[in-house]
Structure formats: C-alpha cells, structure tokens
Amino acid sequence: MNDISQRVSSHFSEQFGAKPLLVRAPGRINLIGEHTDYNNGFVLPAAVDHAIFFAIGKSEDAARCSLISLDFDERYDFDLAEIEPLAADSWQNYILGVVAEIQQSGREVAGFNLVFSGNVPRGSGMSSSAALECGTCVGLNELFGLDIPKVEMVKMSQMAEHNYAGVKCGIMDQFASMMGARDQALLLDCQSLEYRHFPIELNDYSLLLCNSNVTHSLASTEYNVRRQQCEAGVSILQKKFSNVSSLRDVRMEQLELVSEQLEEVVYRRCKYVIEENLRVHEFTAALTQSDLEKAGKILKSAQQAMRDEYEITCPEIDFMADFANAHADVLGARMMGGGFGGCTLNLIKKGREAAFITVLNEAYENQFTKEITPIQVNISDGVSLIKG
C-alpha cells in the first residue's frame, strides 16, 4: 500500500471499527481526441499513476450510508431510499449517481461506508470525476458481489455524471480509468466501444503535463453547449445524408455541401470534430512508425483547432501552448481535457523537463502572476483492488 491507501484504510478503521476493501481508481491523460467521444468518434487516452484511493465496507445499518472525503474534510450521510442529486459541483453527486445507476439496473446495494482520498489534481483535465465514479462502482460491485461486467460499470459511471453531476460527458474518461493498462494507451471507438491497447514508445521523449492552475466555472456549461451545437449540425446533415447518425459518420466534403445551411459557429464546431477524428488516426500511425516529429505537429494542429474552431482554450492555456510549441526541446504541445483551463500536454525531450519548466514558469508568472504546476505521469493500469 502507498501512503494514501494506508491513510484511507486507517481512517476507515478508526471511524467504523472494521477492515475495509481497498480500491485504486486512476485519473487519465488523453494523447489526442478531445470532444470526439460524445460525437461517437475516436480517442487515445491512457490511465496514469495519479489516482483516487477508496476504503469501503458494509454498514451496520442496511439502509444507511456514510461517505467521507479526506481531501474536502467532509462527511455525508444518506439513506439508500432517498437518493437525490445535491447542488451542482458537489463531490457527493459522483458517488450518489453511481449508487442510483446500480439500483436502476435492478441490482441491490445495502448500506455501506466509504472513505476516499487521492492525488489526481482537480480541474486539471485528468478526470478526477471519472476516477471517483469508477472506483465507487468497482468497490460496490466487489463488496456486494454484483457481478457487473466492466463495460457496464463504465456506462453506469458515465450516466452518473450525466444524471447527477449534470455534465453530458462522453464515455472516454470512464473507459480509460476502468480499462487502462500499464505503458499502453487505449485506442477507443466510442460508437462500438471496440478498443485495443496501443503501446506507447516515446524513445528519447517523454510526456509532461503542465497545470495552468486555472479552472473556469463555465467549463461544464460550455461543454454542454458544444454538445448541443454538434447535435444541431447533425440534424441538418441528416436531412441530406441518410447514413449520418453522428459527426463520426461525416466527411469534410459532406459538411461543405451543407455549410450554407449551418450557422457559422456550428460549422466550425463540426469541422473541428471531423478533423479531430482524423488526427487520432494520424497520431496513432505516427507513433506506429516512430515518427515523433509528425506526432508533435499533430499536437500543434490540435491546439490551434481547439483555440480557433472549438473555442475551448483560455488565455493562460494559449500562452503555455504557444510557449511550448516555440521551444526547441518540445516537439508539440496542446491543451488536454474539456477546456477553459487545466493542463497542457507536452511531448518533450527526456532530460530537458526541468529546464523547460523553469523558463515556462518564469514567463507564465510574468504574464499572469501565478505559477504552473508540472506533473510527471506514468501510464498505469486501470481500476484495481488493492491487496492489503
């Protein structure tokens, strides 16, 4: 056990007088493919070694549950028969939503106690929310012997975010947290849910995350707006092309044929998604061919498209990405995650990380009077039980 899992285990035993089941649920990075998942497209995420750790056990009261967040220093008690969403942005919603989804599937959950803590930076685009959902789902599945298939747990976790957190997310984050594998990314088709583990071999380069330490409150609302804009484009495209069920089915030449019928902003949103799907395939091909320079160029083009076409960046992120993309040791950089803050993902020469962080942080502090937080990540396994 590491320090965090030991801490949640000890706290559970102190509070509830029993030895808990321990679960680790990782955050994730996404190498390429932003906002394509809810458009049934392609993504290339990977689970990482930053994770949330859970201690969970059965309650003495079969109808009553207690949740303790060590990071928020909060406790929440609830009755299984009276589960409802709380205020927006409440951490409890991610757990309550999972319980509700399990109940709605016809499976029975009895009273339980749960303690959790983690080191996935919130608001960084590393999807601490999906880790919280997936870890809860796996813990309850194991605790009550529910025998829920992994892919169904992924879907339950996604729907928890839809119905309780109010974010109409795609399935990528939960899929990566649940199904990740050490040193491998997941090339995932978000329509069929077919996937394959894709070895990540970066040779003389490494992946460095730089957290802007900016989290904009408009991220979740704007996320839903982007989804609505994509759906508006699909509804126009469907009138001309009978095979179109989502933007994943659309080619650029088809989009051009209906461009005059689309609002200009809807056209740009659709263009971004269609081309981002192509970038996922181009990026995986570049990695297969060990052409890291080409992979870097694809990251640069993705950053430009997120800024200009999908409009999900912010001044701080644009500054960091532009700085990195002009730096000799960086092959390519882009914003990672839902947008409006979070991290940049940098493909950087091994051994040059510390020097790059120093100069980037100095420039960033001069521009915005705040510091970045560098995050070194290793690609890890997905959700797992911890043997203690």
The answer to whether the CB of 163 falls within 8 A of the CB of 170 is no
The answer to whether the CB of 270 falls within 8 A of the CB of 250 is yes
Q: Using CB atoms within 10 A of its CB, is residue 73 exposed (0-12), middle (13-18) or buried (19+)? A: exposed
Please indicate whether residue 173 is annotated as part of the active site.
yes
Give the torsion sign (CA, 117, 25, 387, 375).
negative
Give the relative orientation of helices 264-288 and 219-240 as an angle to the nearest 10 degrees: 100
Q: How far apart are CA 98 and CA 164, in angstroms?
A: 9
What is the C-alpha end-to-end distance of the chain, expressed in Å?
7
From the list 37, 49, 173, 381, the catalytic residue is 173
The answer to whether the CB of 124 falls within 8 A of the CB of 11 is no
Q: How far apart are CA 172 and CA 180, in angstroms?
A: 11
The values of phi and psi at residue 336, to 5°, are -120, 135
The token pair that represents 78 in the structure block: 């609830």
The answer to whether the CB of 25 falls within 8 A of the CB of 175 is no
Q: How many helices (H) and strands (E) does the chain have?
A: 11, 13
DSSP 355: H
Catalytic residues: 173
